[in-house]
Amino acid sequence: MEERRNSQTLIYRTDPNLELEEKLRRLAFVRHPSIQNDHDSVIADYRPIAKRRMESITFDELTEEEIVEQLSKHYKGIISNLGEDPARQGLLRTPERAAKAIMFFTKGYKEKIEDVLNDAVFDEDHDEMVIVKDIEMFSLCEHHLVPFMGKVSIGYLPNKRILGLSKLARIVEIYSRRLQVQERLTKQIAVAITEAVQPTGVGVVVEATHMCMVMRGVQKLNSKTVTSTMLGVLREDPKSREEFLTLMNNR
């Protein structure tokens, strides 16, 4: 049993950029009748990386305990590579704690948007902008494996369907609890909302502080990175976008 597992080839998750690109491309075909402009500019940014397809997932063959055990071994190695003694009292249980912590920081991999949105999509004849501001977000930068955190604000223009408000925060949670880059996180949230309720437009703004900038490199303590994704009329119609941004800045 152990041997079979150890010898198995690891199959990785699908490259999230490819998945996102595919979704954005699909969304580009479902256009609001009033939209004249071309969506290609959104899509073009992603084209070059759409080369290789990988089978999705899974580590399902390993139980959670087994994954923690594996991760603990790696962390023990990291500690000794740093020149510390993993056997000294204060560090004795650190590998296991670190393993459990990183499992928590990446728990979004285990959750599916469909499960979360189950029963939370409602038919409603409401066509005014819905805005939820300052949803707290904690994520892990995929380039350095250190945290970045901040706030996410979401607005959408419903088209006969609305989403339970708490679900917006759940979507943020699912995508932020992964290895991420802020730009992709922003787009993934916008795409998930679009897929869930097919709104007339969606806008997502993420404002975050990256520990990899604050604690190393340029050490800019107060620098914030702001990213935004606009889809549908919020992308195409300056007036709707303006309304969104005004409501967003209205504190």
Residues that bind Zn ion (CB under 5 A): 141, 143-144, 212
Which CB atom, from 97 or from 143, has the smaller least distance to Zn ion? 143
CB 130 within 8 A of CB 199: no
From the number of C-beta atoms within 10 Å of its C-beta (0-12, 13-18, 19+), residue 153 rates as: buried
Among all residues, which ones are annotated catalytic?
Answer: 141-144, 182, 210, 212
> What sign does the CA torsion over 129, 135, 141, 142 have?
negative
Q: How far is the CB of 99 from Zn ion (least distance, A)?
A: 21
**CA–CA separation, 180 vs 160, rounded Å?**
32
* Helix or strand holding residue 142 (H, E): none
Q: In the complex, which residue's CB is closest to Zn ion?
A: 212
- Give residue for tokens 């969304």: 27
Q: How far is the CB of 56 from Zn ion (least distance, A)?
A: 25
Which CB atom, from 26 or from 220, has the smaller least distance to Zn ion? 220
Looking at residue 155, the DSSP 8-state letter turns out to be E
Q: How far is the CB of 235 from Zn ion (least distance, A)?
A: 28
In 158-234, beta strands by DSSP E: 161-163, 179-180, 201-210, 225-232
Q: How far is the CB of 179 from Zn ion (least distance, A)?
A: 10
Please work out, in degrees rounded to the nearest 5, the angle formed at the alpha carbon of residue 102 by the alpha carbons of 53 and 46.
30
Which CB atom, from 88 or from 143, has the smaller least distance to Zn ion? 143
Which CB atom, from 144 or from 151, has the smaller least distance to Zn ion? 144
* CA of residue 100 relative to chain centroid, distance: 20
